[in-house]
Amino acid sequence: MSLVIHLGETDSSNNYLKKLLQEQAVEEYTIVSTDFQTAGKGQRGNGWESEPEKNLLFSMLLYPVRVKANEQFIISQIVSLGVAKALGKYTSDISIKWPNDIYWQQKKICGILMENSLSGEEIKESIAGIGININQEDFRSNAPNPVSLKQITGVELDRQAILNEVCNNIELYYNCMLQENNEYIISAYKDLLFRREGFHLFNDNTKDFHARIKDVRPDGILVLETETGTERKFAFKEVKYVLS
């Protein structure tokens, strides 16, 4: 079982864990969780909205020392899978929107911010920052399509129980990696992909186009196939799903 440092309030659980690491030795699987973030960080320089005491906001520390910098996407897959499988116990229609958003139907229920620090070609430490919308009922920021578990199920949920399940699931997949069973992780990740089947609208920062997901490569590159059969490859931020 992991050590959990619980804080009433902090700027960002990722930042707190980062600072702690500069001051002292911190064990693998240590979790910093908080009821409120004054400067919660999202991807692409965005913030992360969360009403006090309503949701799960936490960061988990991993030391994936044998993972090379160019293989770091496996950590993202492990964390996404851990969250998705845990949330799948509370509702159906949970999927992973490449690279690591967790969706319920067409809405975002969880965001993940991975912050890896590298030492040469290896990962020194990895901070998985996870925000899961649990009991919040109104979202006020301009985040396009948030949803919480309470909005889906109609009932108030126990945040602590969900935190335990998510962490246990992440550890399970992390152990698969330590046992060199990356194939299992990669295949489970692909099985849960959002819009895994059929043609959908994407945007390459210039224009919309229809394509289907052909593959997600181990380095995290999304491989799409257009309607004319052309293969197109995208790194994170180079392509967006167009949501209706």
Q: Which of 5, 57, 147, 222 binds ligand BTN (CB under 6 A)?
A: 57
Tell whether residue 46 is a contact of ligand BTN (CB under 6 A).
yes
Helix (H) or strand (E) segment spanning residue 159: helix 159-178
Residue 211 token pair: 């394509």
In the bound state with ligand BTN, the residue whose beta carbon lies nearer, of 66 and 240, is 240
Q: Which of 64, 82, 99, 129 binds ligand BTN (CB under 6 A)?
A: 129
Tell whether residue 59 is a contact of ligand BTN (CB under 6 A).
yes
Minimum CB distance to ligand BTN, residue 37 (Å): 6
Tell whether residue 88 is a contact of ligand BTN (CB under 6 A).
no
Which residue is associated with the tokens 């064990």?
27
Smallest Cα–Cα separation from 212: which of 228, 236, 235?
228
Smallest Cα–Cα separation from 225: which of 199, 206, 204, 243?
199
Minimum CB distance to ligand BTN, residue 210 (Å): 25
- Residue of closest CB approach to ligand BTN: 111
Tell whether residue 146 is a contact of ligand BTN (CB under 6 A).
no
Q: Which of 5, 67, 94, 112 binds ligand BTN (CB under 6 A)?
A: 112
- Beta strand 56-62 with 101-104: parallel, antiparallel or unpaired? unpaired
**CA 114, CA 94: separation in Å to the nearest integer?**
20
Q: Are 109 and 133 in contact (CB under 8 A)?
A: yes
- Beta strand 231-234 with 240-241: parallel, antiparallel or unpaired? unpaired
Number of neighbouring beta carbons within 10 Å of residue 163: 22
Q: Which of 48, 103, 202, 209 binds ligand BTN (CB under 6 A)?
A: 48
In the bound state with ligand BTN, the residue whose beta carbon lies nearer, of 12 and 176, is 12
Minimum CB distance to ligand BTN, residue 241 (Å): 13
**CA 211, CA 76: separation in Å to the nearest integer?**
24
Instruction: List residues near ligand BTN by CB under 6 A.
Output: 12-14, 37, 40-43, 46, 48, 57-59, 101, 111-113, 129-131
